[in-house]
Structure 1
Amino acid sequence: MNEKKILGVCAWLSDRFDIEVSMLRIIFVIATVVGIGSPILIYLILALVKPANY
């Protein structure tokens, strides 16, 4: 998968759950702007959890 932009979290999640990568990116951006939960912290935690070869 070469959809990796920053840390590859959205590309990894889209592969894992068979969701369009652009939809995940839009969800993360909207959640960050609106302030729902703490999406930046979640993104960083997922970057640590995802496999290294991704």
Structure 2
Amino acid sequence: MKGLVVFLEQRSFGVCTYLGERFGVSVARIRLFFIYSSFLAVGFPVIFYLLAGIVLDVRNYVKRTHNSLFDF
């Protein structure tokens, strides 16, 4: 089971981790919130999660390219 958790954490966008660090909340609580709210809101949090993941990936990409452009 531990291997599955590690695999999913490495392949996911890191949205829950980012939100947990940003707001000082446990990552496990945020994940449970997304799971339970997905059942209640018929998948809307999944759409939010994917959009937030895309935004975080673009943000990290811009940071990497911005730093590499000015590292002469």
Shared fold (TM-score greater than 0.5)?
Answer: yes
Where relative contact order (Cα < 8 A, 6+ residues apart) is larger, the structure is 1
State the percentage of identical aligned residues. Answer: 28
Q: Which amino acid aligns with 2:34?
A: F
Task: Say whether residues 1:11 and 2:17 are aligned partners.
Answer: yes
Q: Alpha carbon RMSD of aligned pairs, Å?
A: 2.1
**Match for residue 52 of structure 1?**
60
Task: State the 1:49 CA deviation.
Answer: 1.8
Unaligned 5+ segments in structure 1 are none
Which portions of structure 1, spanning 4 or more consecutive aligned residues, are displaced by more than 3 angstroms? none
Alignment TM-score, normalising by the size of structure 1: 0.76
Higher share of residues assigned helix? 2
Q: Which 10-residue stretch deviates more, 43-52 or 9-18? A: 43-52
Matched, 1:26 2:24: no
Structure-to-structure mapping, 1:29-40, within 5 angstroms: 29-35=35-41, 38-40=44-46
